[in-house]
Amino acid sequence: MQQKRLTVEERADVRGLLIRSKPFTAMTEEELSRLVDRTIRYDLSEGEVAFCEGSPAQRSLVVAEGAVAGVRYTENGDEKLFRCFKRGDIIGLTAMFLPEACYLLTARIMRPTRVYGLPREVLQEVAEVNSCFAARMLEYTSMRLRTSLNQVDFFTGSSAEQRVAAFLLQLHEEQSSERIELPFRQKQVAVLLGVREETVSRVLSQFRKAGVLAPGRGPIDLIDVDFLRDLVGGQREHLRIGSF
């Protein structure tokens, strides 16, 4: 993992990415400048691990380009995917404020990636003196807790068809297109949705036969978005699959 100091352009880039996240809009100009001054850049290759679950949490990572999988591993070594982080997403921010200061997930690089590392000590120092930033961080964490609870509740009472439909709708909104790309392999989608890989294949085939999706492989063309919305129903409110 190559570590570098930020260029002038990268300093502007990380600043722009940070102020898109609500907690950082509460920082003063001096606090934001101090944070950017202590931020470093990491270049990572596909397959590398930026940090491991349970390891000391020294920096939160802002994705500048590429993609990072947030995963945990079972005793058998099977990978459980929790989220795919892309440009602008912040990894491990909540971990910066845990008493034991350890990461909650393993960050595995999915393709060549550049991230900005925000130092834990500066984030904590700002939280101690800036009550508005601390309140925004509490809101940020609370919203993720709500999202996680809603996902658990949805998964305990939904069918495989509803889970796949909810995920397709989420990608539709994120990618702002009727043609959507899966952000990772179908096997990983199945793990994320808590179903078997063959179940995802079966549901997608059913949707294609019913005219909900266009036939063919590759990018998924949504034909009947209203059907998917009706299938999921009101359970979509405040639901964000994999938003950890």
CATH of 2-130, one of 3.30.70.1560, 3.40.50.300, 2.60.120.10, 3.90.25.10: 2.60.120.10
Cα(243)–Cα(148) distance, integer angstroms: 7
**243: pLDDT strictly greater than 70:** no
Is the separation of the CB atoms in 238 and 146 below 8 Å?
yes
Closest CA to 18 of 69, 68, 60: 60
Token pair recorded at residue 208: 């294609």
**192: pLDDT strictly greater than 60:** yes
- DSSP string over 59-102: EEEEEEEEEEEEEEE-TT--EEEEEEE-TT-EESTGGGG-TT-B
Number of H helices and E strands in the chain, helices first, is 8, 9
Give the C-alpha distances (Å, rounded to integers) separating 179 from 69, 164, 165: 23, 16, 14
> Is 136 strand, coil or helix?
helix
Question: Residue 107: which H helix or E strand, with range?
Answer: strand 106-119
* E-assigned strand segments in 154-240: 179-180, 220-221
CATH topology of domain 158-236: Arc Repressor Mutant, subunit A (1.10.10)
**182: pLDDT strictly greater than 70:** yes
Q: Which residues pair with 79 in a beta bridge?
A: 73
How many residues would you count in the chain?
244
Q: What is the largest CA-CA distance in the chain?
A: 59
User: Which residues belong to CATH 2.60.120.10 in the chain?
Assistant: 2-130
The residue with greater pLDDT, 83 or 97, is 97
**13: pLDDT strictly greater than 60:** yes
The whole-number pLDDT of residue 236 equals: 64
Residues with Cβ within 8 Å of 236's Cβ and at least 6 positions away in sequence, in order, are: 166, 169, 229
Residues with Cβ within 8 Å of 212's Cβ and at least 6 positions away in sequence, in order, are: 222, 223, 224, 227, 228
The whole-number pLDDT of residue 50 equals: 95
* Mean pLDDT of the region 190-216: 91
Mean pLDDT across the chain, nearest whole number? 90
Cα(175)–Cα(154) distance, integer angstroms: 23
The residue with greater pLDDT, 6 or 154, is 6
The residue with greater pLDDT, 2 or 231, is 231
Q: What confidence category does residue 244 fall into, taking pLDDT thresholds of 50, 70 and 90?
A: low
**237: pLDDT strictly greater than 70:** no
Residues with Cβ within 8 Å of 34's Cβ and at least 6 positions away in sequence, in order, are: 122, 126
Tell me: the pLDDT tens digits for 57-81? 999 999 999 999 999 887 877 788 8
Residue type for 110, please?
A: M
